[in-house]
Structure formats: structure tokens, C-alpha cells
Structure 1
Amino acid sequence: MAEHKFYPYTNNGGSTLGLRGADYAILAGDTRSTSGYSINSRLERKVFPIEDGSSSPNSHIALSVVGFAADGRDLKERLDAMAAAYRYRHGKGIGITACAQRLSTLLYQKRFFPYQLQTMLAGVDGSGRGVLYNYDPAGSCEERAYCGAGVAGGLMVPFVDGQVGTLRESLDCEVGEGLVRDAFRGAAERHVEVGDYLQMMIVTKNGIHEVFADLRKD
């Protein structure tokens, strides 16, 4: 008799990369969604602004998720709801430090059936300093200067290591943006599950600026 097993998850491919500077943070991801060697979508976002339902949103926080796409959408919606509740209770938008702690709590609450994701949170704090947090599935987090995740994270981080070196605190935003572009272009040439478009969210004290760029389509 054949034994049948059900596994509720799949890895939908793609990669994300986070980088922070003295007064900015960048979260980026490709838009290709895969199942094995099949392409489900060429426009699946992996980076999102945190929205709290304000009539005039000016978010200073961005979230990246890569892994199982449905889990990523659910986590984003839960974090948005938490941010909306914070604004309702306190009369102001949530800061990056409080949001990072709440995200850690959300992930920890799911520790017995965890989200199948690699997660990063980026923004600027009250003093205008760029901040980047990297999370494990159970909610433990670490502040990082740069971090990669997903199928090509292991390709991109060594590249950033060699380019950034000891200059990460003084890395200009324009230079950081170019570095992220180069990292993804190289990853797309070397990994079949990375490609189509690059989505970048650049967070500064003035808000979030979203940029799209072409990657390899085949």
C-alpha cells in the first residue's frame, strides 16, 4: 500500500537583501515566485511598507518576507493590524523599535507552527538613524548592518562583504542603492529562482521611496 503524506508548505523562491546606512535603510527583493522549476508569477512582491490605516500614511518602516508566500502575506496583514491598533491607542504612528518588538512577539506566538519565512524589518528611528533587524522563524532578532535571505542570500552577502568592508556606517544612500542593484543582478545570473524585477524600498526620515529595476527574465 502506498503511503501518502501531506506537506502544507512550499518554498516560492526568490531572495531579499537588507542594508542600512547612517540615515537610511534599504530592503529589496526580486519579484519572481516559483514552485520548483515552474514560475507562478513574475510580479510577486516580497517587500512591503507597514501601514496603520492612517488617512495620510508616511511610513518609515518596511518589512521583507521570503519563503512561503501565503505566510508572508498573513504576517504582513497581522503587522499592519498591530500598527493600526498602536495608532488608535497612542494617537501616533509606531516607531521602528516598538514595531521590531511586536514583530518578534508575533513570530514567537507561532513558534509551534512557525511561519516558513525569512524575515527582515528596516526603518529609521527617532533620531534618523538607519536600522535593520533580521529574524529567525521563532522571533529571535538581531540588528544587522546588512543581511541576505532566500535562495540566493548566500551569493549576495559575500559580495556585499567585499564591497562594504569597514565603510558601512558612512556608505552614501546612492552608493548603497547601486550596491543592492549589483548584488541582485549577479544573483539573477547565477540562480534560476531569482529574476524578473528588483523591488527596492529606500527608507529615510522623509518616508519610503520605492524603486523598480529590470532583472533577467529567462
Structure 2
Amino acid sequence: MTKEQANWSPYDNNGGTCVAIAGADYCVVAADTRMASGYNILTRDYSKIAKLADKCAMASSGFQADVRALQKHLEARHLIYQHQHNKQMSTPAMAQLLSNTLYYKRFFPYYAFNVLGGLDSQGKGCVFTYDAVGSYERVGYSSQGSGSTLIMPFLDNQLKSPSPLLLPAKDAVTPLSESEAIDLVKTCFASATERDIYTGDKLEIVVLNAEGTRREYMELRKD
């Protein structure tokens, strides 16, 4: 048994970084595709984004077995909802379901750090950010994962609105156009990849808007 195998834990953080940005009529959800354990790269092509509904996607980092268990649970609950109500769950409803699911498991929590994005009932972009036990907030942008400490200060610098204590509160959407938001996400990951060994290989971007959903990819550093 090698030293790395002896120190390995089934609850190792598999790393990765997730970002979501909401706009007036779109939402961008992005994550890298590297899965690592310690200094070992397990795979370079693993999607961390799950499409939960036509207008809703979730990106997750952390222990990938727990992430997958959480995704399967939400997919099953959404299927039951569709059979009972004959419609898909809205993004704010899915956000509440995710919060309830995480809180229910709070004494043995999923080792998963999630950001959920999509369109609300008015067609506006919305982003919900979570901690491990279900506390959540609707925001204009968010980042989770090993590279979030590098990305969030940059997003704050680019997008942070003045304090709501000084000015009337604004909607939780960013002023960027869709193409500007995608470019900003690419810049974030290109920068984080230089400093975080758990982020890299390839960037997956999911764009949700009134026309539907599309995916884009960008190559990142592989070392």
C-alpha cells in the first residue's frame, strides 16, 4: 500500500470549482471537469453540472459520491412532482427542495457544496448558493468549491452592487449581458486554474435562457 493509499479517506474532497451568474433574462452555470483526490487526478472529463429541469441546473463540488446521491434524490423527487402536478418544478421551488433535502441530512450531511441556477417564473435569471446543511440565499452570482476563495473576490470586484443600506435594494441579477457573463466566467476559471491544483482540464458552461439550454466548453490547463 502506498503512502497516498494509506492516507486516503472515502470522504476526501474531490475538488473542483463551480460558478453561477444570473442576468436579466439568462443564467450561466459553469464548472471544471477535473476530479482529483489528493495529488491524484482520477479523471479529466467528469461533469459536475446536473440539469434538474428545463430551466434549472445545479453545479456541485465536494465528495462526488455524495454529490451523485444528492442529484439522484432530487431527480426522483422531481419526477414524483411532475406526476402529481403535471408540470415541472420552478427554479425557486427546486431551490427550496434542495435546502430541505440538505437540512434533513444535517446530522450526517452530504459532503456537497452546491450552487443552483436557472430562470424564475418571470423569466429572470436566479442563482441560489448553499452551505452543507441547507442554508441558502438568492444572489446575483456565486462560487463554490476549492477555487471559490480565488474567484469570489474577483466577482465581487466586478459585480458587487453598493450596500443596500445606502441605496434602495436592487434585484438579485447582474447588469452583464449574456456574452459578457460567459467571458467573465472563462476569465475566472483561467485565473483559478493557475493557482488551484484541483481545478483544471476543461470548463463546462451551461447557459439557460428563454430559448432553452446550451453547453459550451473551453480547454483549461492540464497540469
- TM-score normalised by length of structure 2: 0.88
Separation of aligned partners in 2, 1:155 and 1:6? 26
Paired residue for 1:185? 190
Residue type at the aligned position of 2:22: R
- CA separation in 2, counterparts of 1:150 and 1:5? 22
Post-superposition Cα deviations, 1:48-76, rounded to whole Å, max 9, x if no partner, equal 1015xxxxxxx100011100001111111
Q: Tell me if 1:107 matches 2:102.
A: yes
Tell me the distance in 1 between the aligned counterparts of 2:62 and 2:174: 29
Q: What amino acid is aligned across from residue 154 of structure 2 in structure 1? A: F
Alignment deviations for residues 174-211 of structure 1 (CA, whole Å, 9 cap, x no partner): 00000000000000111111100001111112222111
Partner of 2:170: none
Q: 1:39 is matched with which residue: 37, 41, 60?
A: 41
5+ residue gaps, structure 1, are 52-58
In structure 2, what is the Cα distance between the partners aligned to 1:6 and 1:153? 24
Q: In structure 1, how many angstroms separate the alpha carbons of the residues matched to 2:87 and 2:211? A: 16
Alignment match of 2:27 (pick from 19, 25, 28): 25
**Cα deviation, residue 22, structure 1:** 1.1
- 1:141 is the counterpart of 2:143: no
Give 1:101 shift: 1.0
Cα distance between partner residues in 2 of 1:196 and 1:125: 32
Residue 23 (structure 1) shift: 1.1
Name the CA shift for 1:38/1:136 in 2 (closer, same or farther; >3 Å). same
Q: Where does 1:188-199 land on structure 2 (aligned, <5 Å)?
A: 188-199=193-204
The aligned residue for residue 56 of structure 1 is none
CA distance in 2, matches of 1:25, 1:188: 23
Change (3 A) 1:177 1:6: closer
Aligned to 1:169, the other structure's residue is in SS state coil
Shift of 1:6: 9.4
Separation in 1 of the partners of 2:12 and 2:61? 11
Cα gap change, 1:196/1:208 in structure 2, threshold over 3 Å: closer, same or farther?
Answer: same
Instruction: Name the SS for the 2:68 alignment partner.
Output: helix
Deviation at 1:34, TM superposition (A): 0.6
Q: 1:164: how far off?
A: 2.3
Out of 133, 150, 153, the residue aligned to residue 155 of structure 1 is 150
CA RMSD of aligned residues (A): 1.8
| 2:75 counterpart residue number | 80
| Secondary structure of residue in 2 paired with 1:48 | strand
Return closer, same or farther for 1:16/1:5 CA change in 2, 3 Å cut-off: closer
Match of 2:93 in 1: 98
Is the alpha carbon distance of 1:213 and 1:25 closer, same or farther for their aligned partners in structure 2, counting shifts above 3 Å? Answer: same
1:117: Cα distance to partner? Answer: 1.2
3-state SS of paired residue (1:122): strand
* 3-state SS of 2:150 partner: helix
SS class of match (2:174): helix
Q: Percent identity of the aligned residues?
A: 37
Q: TM-score w.r.t. structure 1 length?
A: 0.90
Matches of 2:142 and 2:28 in 1, distance apart?
A: 11
Q: For 2:153 and 2:30, how far apart are their aligned partners in 1?
A: 17
Q: Which amino acid in 1 is paired with 2:45? A: L
Secondary structure, counterpart of 1:170 in structure 2: coil
Query: 87-96 vs 161-170, which deviates more?
Result: 161-170
Query: Aligned pairs, how many?
Result: 208
